[in-house]
Structure 1
Amino acid sequence: MAVAPTAASLFIGTIRRDSTPAPATGKKLRSSVRIPRFAVSVDRPTAPTSAVTTSPEKTNPAVKLEEEGGRGVDAMVKEEEEERKNRSVFSGMKRFLEESKAIIDEENENGSGGGAPRWFSPPDTVDCSGSWQMEDPPVLLYLPGIDGVGLGLTLHHQKLKGIFDISCLHIPVFDRTPFTDLMKIVESRVKSEHQRSPRKPIYLVGESLGACLALAVAARNPDIDLVLIIANPATSFNRSQLQLLTPLLEVLPDPRSLGLPELQSSMPGDSERMELGILLKGLPLQNTTRELMEDFINFSPSVPVLADILPRETLLWRLNLLRSASSYANSRLHAVKAQTLILSSEKDELLPSKEEGERLRKLLPNSQIRKFADSGHFLFLEGNIDLVTILKGTSFYRRGTKHDYVSDYIPPTPTEFQDVLKSYNFLNTMTSPVMLSTLEDGTIVKGLAGLPSEGPVIYVGYHMLLGIELGPLVSRILIERGILVRGIAHPLMFRRNDAGLLPDISSFDNFRIMGAVPVAATNLFKLLSSKSHILLFPGGMREALHRKVNSNI
């Protein structure tokens, strides 16, 4: 059988086929894109060492939910899109402050001042039914920033709980534990988890102050398998404007005595916010202006909570804590051998995170960096940031000593797939690719009805359009047949020390999200064993560029 898209020729060899192909239909191709149920043919093994698994329909969350009469993929897409709309600039911070207030109020009611730093897990009320559920997941320890509350990942708990065992560090408002003792608390937990599961990695996710804690613990424990995810680390504190706050706060009285009741009384109440909302709907404002004004109206009641989280004395202490953390971590960067992902916001107004990210990337031998051009300091509270998607795109999720591109792979959610598909809109419009396939009886039909539903299947083709024909091809197979094809790709798309004239490695994140694996005999064997649909271009980069390529690439 054969499939012939306009941008690439493709020949299919069926390794095993247990079911008959879908019948041909005389209908025209659909003009509107609708994502079907994902029949992903890469299944989750019961253990990290095994690649042979059961039927994909039994493990794919979208398919399972639909079969059980729950939410289908279309419903999941609508819910995710609605959630994104509600996660604007202020909504993440607003949710963080509301949940933080509940914790602080409870501590104040107990009269203990919050006690000592402690670990807590996200509440069981977090709904993970629509997320991928990974068996025997690794531990993730979240280390907070200067706020100390431990709810910095509140927008990500739902998806993270499906693939991690999460614990968050909480530093009470009136706690005065020095940095070295905080580090020992984290270190003690790390050693305990390592002793319990020595073959699994331990993830340390920290921002600002928490990033310094993660780096310090990693420097002191080079023999423990740690994966660091550090966002806007405070190792740049001595070059930031935050250090100028200390002398100013020392001469000022507590901000709560500087008119906070007046400030709070000036905030719009429920009735005023409703009236302003009605007024905004009637004004001829641009969408961006309207959204910002509505965000301010909704966010304003949460402003006084900031004074409860960081009263003057606590803020002074935390700033001194940042100075100690920065000094300690910087003096030990040479000892950090852990796998590290640096998340750098280029519009951070509190720390020079853009420059610091590049500095750390050069100093840490086993590190990668991802830059966020439009993000501020509180990266994880921004609605357009998805930590799980970042981990997928960087291949940083693993359950063993090394990342396994088959057993550790997490298929894209419907929304992630839609985001990838949008990047190929221009190419699809310009080329209008047409897919043809051959049925078992030799009939050539328009569409992909001739593709076998069950794997393993190898698709062998050659590049005709600089390799960019991969996107339309893989996406069309997923849209029409619900089959996620795993591409065998050049190793340079996954890891390299010096980019040189090559594109930034982050430009290949979408390929990894869609299941690309580096070319290797072992990876091909694992994909075949897991009954996957595999896409192979033997000509590789030389063929894609239609010229001789340096053999050292």
Structure 2
Amino acid sequence: MAATGACLLPPGVSPAPRLRGRASAAASSDQNPRLSSSLTRGCAVSKQQAPSALTGTTIPRTRPVGEHGRRYEKSTSYRDWSAPFVEDVELESGPDRVKRFFDHAKDLARPDGGPPRWFSPLECGSRLEKSPLLLYLPGIDGTGAGLTSHHKKLGKIFDIWCLHIPVMDRTSFRDLVKMIERTIKSENYRSPNRPIYLVGESLGGCLALAVAARNPDIDLLLILANPATSFDKSQIQALLPLLELMPEQLQLTYPFILSFMAGDPSRKFKASTEEGLAPQRTVEELSKDLLTMSSHVSVLADILPKETLLWKLQMLKSASAYSNSRIHDVNAQTLLLTSAKDWLLPSQAEGARLNNALRRSHIRKFEDCGHYLFLEDDFDLVTIIKRVGFYRRGKCLDYVSDYLPPTPAEYRKVYESNRWFNEITGPVMLSTLEDGRIVRGLDGIPSEGPVLYVGYHMLLGLELVPLVTGFMNERNILLRGIAHPMIFENYEKGQTGEEYKLIWPEQSEFVRMAIKFGAKIVPFGTVGEDDFGEVSQ
């Protein structure tokens, strides 16, 4: 465990100008540290050393203020101290995300006769210094508005460009690939040490894979949300003959598409039940959502008129075939995001297939989400990127400078979800004061960093749950977990029979790290975990 001071934090947020419209680049012409980051992600910062850009909030108990932010007020159940968090950005509910998407898409769908182009959202605001470039590649709507509700939060850590394909544009899939390819080559030439993220959903996922396959030497990171590489197995194909015969004025296809964008009604019913809402109130809320969705039919008809929808569905066939034929040429780091309730594509099965086919991939599954993942309630792309350690600003991941502290809401969610463990185990923490006295609680730990907590783990390292939350709630220190690679080697070998056995690496990497950063070393140990495991059996 490491408790670090301000010297180990990423640079503060710095303002940067936003672009009202950026023409296509095609048109305008350290090694990783030996210590591997564990699943417990955090960074302990003493309040005396935390930079001003990361302070000014108090720990949990919040209330929303305004449309885009939260104000953190004093709570009688928490200490009044500034927390080592970054500012929260409140994300809208699912229905509000859909509404915002259509409001934005309506403006973007106005005919202008132009070719596909990039735009950078104004609401992204300032971002971290040397932020990586994120190129958003849309689905069949082509508007580039799919990440609208995530722009402000993403904009704090990325330079965002969104691809906009005008409604009447008929650029082929391969030509779109070439256009994106020219852009990434231009940006890579301009900033060779800056990685480029390609975030693609559905059709955009095929575009991202095709571009990555053709450019294995460019530092790309792919985030694919329900990519349409499984189009040949999709029920969408049944729409093609239906659309060709259907008079445009009937517009029966649009309510069908809207039903998938609205998400799973049973999920909202379950959530309303858990919140204690009366059945009548739940029905009223669901009816309100359905009425709101029906008002979007005309906008959807403007975004995807019959001819455009037919063109895009035909494009999906060629996009799927093209990207699948080159899947083994993809060398980019890839994060696969798949939905279990995607009624348009068999996304979870396809995600498993892609995860096996790609060389450097990681998959996250969402059991209660549909095809339009970025519009789903509670879906937070930035939080997911943090959790899987998928953010870096250079050629290699720097576990110190690339670290992104959590927001108060992110910490609160983890704390609440793990509270049951503390209640079941009843952990007791002891620490040693400077005079040698052992006291109950954490008063004996250093108040200033950096500090490196070095200890051994027992049954699955379960002590990390109360340890991390205890440090945060009692001392306002956010621990960041690190582990020696030997730990992962032993895990892979499946070694057992190590109850109360102290295993120490032959090389003193922890000592070297402490010397390098001028950190204090505090040893820790735990007892009772293995005994608890035997009792519970």
* TM-score category, normalised to shorter length: 0.7 to 0.9
Report the secondary structure of 2:295's partner residue: helix
CA RMSD of superposed structures (Å): 3.9
Q: 1:258 and 1:426 mapped to 2: Cα distance? A: 48
Equivalent in the alignment of 1:431: 425
Amino acid aligned to 1:236: S
CA distance in 2, matches of 1:403, 1:99: 34
TM-score (norm: length of structure 2): 0.74
Q: Does 1:119 align with 2:124?
A: no
For residues 378 and 532 of structure 1, do their structure 2 counterparts lie closer, same or farther at Cα, with a shift above 3 Å needed?
farther
Shift of 1:488: 2.3
- Mapped to 2, the partners of 1:41 and 1:287 lie a distance apart of 52
When residues 258 and 239 of structure 1 are mapped into structure 2, their CA distance, relative to the original with a 3 A threshold, is closer
SS of 1:204 mapped into structure 2: strand
SS at structure 1 position matched to 2:448: coil
Indicate the residue corresponding to 1:151 in structure 2.
145
Matched with 2:480 is 486
- Contact map agreement 1:44 1:59 (CA 8 A) in 2: no
Q: Where does residue 51 of structure 2 map in the other structure?
A: 59
CA shift in 2, pair 1:319/1:15, >3 Å: closer
The corresponding residue for 1:43 is 9
- How many residue pairs get aligned? The number is 452
- Pair 1:209-2:188 in alignment: no
Of residues 163, 170, 180, the one that matches 2:174 is 180
Aligned to 1:341: 335
Shift of 1:257: 6.7
Deviation for aligned residue 1:200: 1.9
Q: Report matched runs for 1:75-154 at 5 Å.
A: 78=64, 87-104=92-109, 107-108=110-111, 112-113=112-113, 115-123=114-122, 125-126=123-124, 133-154=127-148
When residues 481 and 537 of structure 1 are mapped into structure 2, their CA distance, relative to the original with a 3 A threshold, is closer
- Name the structure 2 match of 1:440: 434
* Distance across 2 between alignment mates of 1:538 and 1:146: 55
* 1:247 alignment partner in structure 2: 241
CA distance in 2, matches of 1:493, 1:287: 52
Please report how far the alpha carbon of residue 15 of structure 1 lies from its aligned counterpart in structure 2 after TM superposition.
11
Q: Give the TM-score, by structure 1 length.
A: 0.72
The Cα shift of 1:258 comes to: 7.3
Report whether the alignment pairs 1:460 with 2:454: yes
Counterpart pick for 2:370 among 369, 373, 376: 376
Unaligned 5+ segments in structure 2 are: 13-29, 34-44, 72-87, 255-276, 496-504, 532-537
- The question of 1:161 aligning with 2:155 is answered yes
* TM superposition shift of 1:73: 5.0
Deviations 1:506-529 (A, max 9, x none): xxxxxxxxxxxx999778755765
Distance 1:142 1:232, change over 3 A: same
Q: Which runs of 5+ in 1 are unaligned?
A: 1-11, 17-38, 261-282, 503-517, 547-553
Alignment of 1:348-387 (within 5 A): 348-387=342-381
Q: Render the CA deviation track for 1:456-503: whole Å, top value 9, x for unaligned.
A: 22323343554211111111101121112222236499899x98989x
Deviation sequence 1:260-289 (CA, Å, 0-9, x none): 9xxxxxxxxxxxxxxxxxxxxxx9426654
User: Who is 1:507 aligned against?
Assistant: none
In structure 2, C-alpha distance between the alignment counterparts of 1:326 and 1:382, rounded to whole Å = 24
Q: State the Cα deviation string for residues 48-93 of structure 1 (Å, max 9, x = none).
A: 8999xx9974536440xx2xxxx65558675678999973332221
2:468 to 454, 466, 474: 474
* Deviation for aligned residue 1:443: 4.5
Distance 1:223 1:362, change over 3 A: same
Once the 2 structures are TM-superposed, how far is the Cα of residue 429 of structure 1 from its aligned partner?
0.8
Residue 23 of structure 2 is matched in structure 1 by none
- How far apart, CA to CA, are the structure 1 residues paired with 2:522 and 2:378? 31
CA distance in 2, matches of 1:414, 1:388: 14
2:417 maps to a residue whose letter is S
CA drift of 1:325 comes to: 0.7
Give percent identity, aligned residues only: 53
Is the Cα–Cα contact under 8 Å of residues 46 and 477 in structure 2 kept in the other structure? no
User: Are positions 1:218 and 2:209 aligned together?
Assistant: no
Provide the rounded CA distance (Å) in 2 between the counterparts of 1:500 and 1:358. 24
Letter in 2 for 1:43: L
Letter in 1 for 2:473: I
What's the counterpart of residue 42 of structure 2?
A: none
